[in-house]
Structure 1
Amino acid sequence: MRKAFGVQDKFVGLWVTADGVIRHRLLPGGRYDEARGTRESAYEGDYWLQDDHIEYHDDTGFTADGDFRDGVLYHAGMVLYRRKE
């Protein structure tokens, strides 16, 4: 499912749950950094996109996915909103 990078640019940035506990930073080039609570860089790894679907593969081997709908990221039972940095 891995696609050529470039299309992910529309999603690059910080995505945060409403309470601010989970923070996904999608970086250019297909890397991400996830913070949880006070734990920065709790998970790091690669991501890639197929249209509005995102696949995550962290550096420990864990995989997850999600979907962007109407400017919102739905991921593993969480809802994340884009936040300006």
Structure 2
Amino acid sequence: MATSNSHAQFVTTDFPRSPRPAEETSPQDHAFIGMWITEDGHIRHELLPNGRYDEARGTRQSAYRGRYRVTGDIIQYWDDTGFYADGRFRDGVLYHAGYVFYRETE
């Protein structure tokens, strides 16, 4: 039986390049701008109109910050550290990274 030293390598082009923190953001104009929170209130995820987001976790304000872009019902995030994530809006709910977020009501 022949063996091969070649290993399959996972390569994807699905993840857009992470913007550098110094790059400008694109203003966002969509219905999802505002504060989104988990049911227990532990994670508070604010989508700002300037294309930035600010996420607090528990008592840690601004635990994660970065840029985002909404296309249809898909949201893409680029954390300032270079981390990439995405999510989807469905029936007024945001599904992101295994969490369920609801729009904060005043």
Structure 1 stretches (4+) deviating beyond 6 angstroms?
none
- Structure with greater helix share of residues: 1
CA–CA distance in 2 between the matches of 1:48 and 1:69? 16
- Give unpaired runs (5+ residues) of structure 1: none
- Structure with greater strand share of residues: 1
Q: Counterpart of 1:51? A: 72
Of the candidates 33, 43, 63, which is equivalent to residue 22 of structure 1?
43
- Give unpaired runs (5+ residues) of structure 2: 1-15, 17-25
Q: Secondary structure at 1:11's aligned position in 2?
A: coil
- Tell me the C-alpha RMSD between the 2 structures: 1.5
Q: Secondary structure at 2:31's aligned position in 1?
A: helix
2:68 paired with 1:65: no
Q: Give the count of matched residue pairs.
A: 82
2:37 and 2:45 in contact (8 A); partners too: yes
Bigger RCO of structures 1 and 2 (CA < 8 A, at least 6 apart) = 1
Q: CA deviation at 1:16?
A: 0.2
Q: CA deviation at 1:31?
A: 0.3
Q: Counterpart of 1:81? A: 102
TM-score, L = length of structure 2: 0.72
Q: CA deviation at 1:5?
A: 4.2
Q: Counterpart of 2:31? A: 10
Q: CA deviation at 1:6?
A: 4.0
